Amino acid sequence: MLEELPLTQWKGPYDADTKARAVAALESGAVLFFPRLPFRLLNSETQFLTAGVADGKAKNISLDHTTGRMQASSLTGDKAQALAAMIERFGAGAASLVRDLLPYREVERARTSFRPVQVKGRSYSKISDDRLLHVDAFPSRPMRDGRRILRFFANVAPDSPRHWHVGEPFEDFARAFLPRLTPHPPGRSWLYDKLGVTRGRRSRYDETMLSLHDAAKRDDAFQQTSPQDAISFPPGSCWLVFTDVVLHAALGGEFALEQTFHLDVGQMADPAKAPIKVLERLRGESVA
């Protein structure tokens, strides 16, 4: 469930044994844990360790590294620029680590986020409550033919650990939930695409993953009784995980940074471990 890697550098080269362990564990559904890899803030950046830097509407501040556009921050002017620079430095570091540690030749670096609001005590609808066990599925960003969601996190809180729960293997979860999913109405993915609700049209894979995400969060018995392990990520540590296959819940903590990556299933060392392949095996048909 947790594969600890003693890396201390954000850039490679890393030794062959470490790289082999990393990809095998990651693709098997483990969380890669880097206890000795702190993301260090500059002295001037510690001012951003307050919930006040968020605009209060979205849970995360996000940065699009291709445009430099930052969303959901309350800051303006020089302070906004300095916060964006901190988020970008983290995102670039995460990208170099992923590039040097893993065998994937084409990894898309998507949004980078800063999560400055304490997880505990927030109130959300069930579907948007990430304190409930779930696999990630993005309502507006279709993954079409099973494109993967890989996320790199850093706990930058000065003294509070980030608490997660990690659930049972994806295949066990999907086997239990698939028979009770209700099919999405025909035409809806087409309409959402036309209306610009989604960036591109959702595939059956996207619809299935969204349904699994929602069904897990709505099922109180599953949340309370399904097997789960608690993980505590201490301040100054990082972790990397395929969040589309690992059931996870973020229960507590503040001040985390996160970089999302996407890659095609064909890039994987073992594509059979992709959630789309698991769903196809269970359903006996294509879901792309």
* Interface map 136-165 toward Fe ion (x if CB under 5 A): x-----------------------------
Residue (of 30, 23, 32) closest to 103 by Cα position: 23
Instruction: Please say which residue, 87 or 149, places its beta carbon nearer to Fe ion.
Output: 149
* Interface map 161-190 toward Fe ion (x if CB under 5 A): ------------------------------
Instruction: Please say which residue, 27 or 258, places its beta carbon nearer to Fe ion.
Output: 258
Closest CB 245 distance from Fe ion, rounded Å? 11
Closest CB 239 distance from Fe ion, rounded Å? 13
Tally of CB atoms within 10 A around 71:
14
Closest CB 248 distance from Fe ion, rounded Å? 6
Please give the helix or strand (H or E) that residue 115 lies within, else none.
Answer: strand 108-115
Three-state SS string over 189-230 comes to HHHHHHHCCCCCCCCHHHHHHHHHHHHHHHCHHHHHHCCEEE
Closest CB 268 distance from Fe ion, rounded Å? 20
Residue (of 115, 118, 121, 107) closest to 87 by Cα position: 115
Closest CB 19 distance from Fe ion, rounded Å? 26
Instruction: Please say which residue, 135 or 263, places its beta carbon nearer to Fe ion.
Output: 135
Instruction: Please say which residue, 136 or 219, places its beta carbon nearer to Fe ion.
Output: 136
Closest CB 111 distance from Fe ion, rounded Å? 14
CA–CA dist 207, 178 (Å, integer): 12
Q: CB-based contacts of 239: which residues, under 8 Å, 6+ apart?
A: 31, 32, 33, 34, 152, 153, 233
Q: Could you tell me which residues are beta bridge partners of residue 113? A: 62, 258
CA–CA dist 145, 185 (Å, integer): 20
Contact call for residue 244 and Fe ion (CB under 5 A)? no
Instruction: Please say which residue, 27 or 136, places its beta carbon nearer to Fe ion.
Output: 136
Query: ω before 13 within 30° of 0 (cis)?
Result: yes
CA–CA dist 225, 233 (Å, integer): 23
Size of the site for Fe ion (CB under 5 A): 1
Residue closest to Fe ion when measured from CB atoms: 136
* Tokens, residue 49: 């360790």
Instruction: Please say which residue, 133 or 274, places its beta carbon nearer to Fe ion.
Output: 133
* Interface map 119-138 toward Fe ion (x if CB under 5 A): -----------------x--
Residues near Fe ion, by CB under 5 A:
136
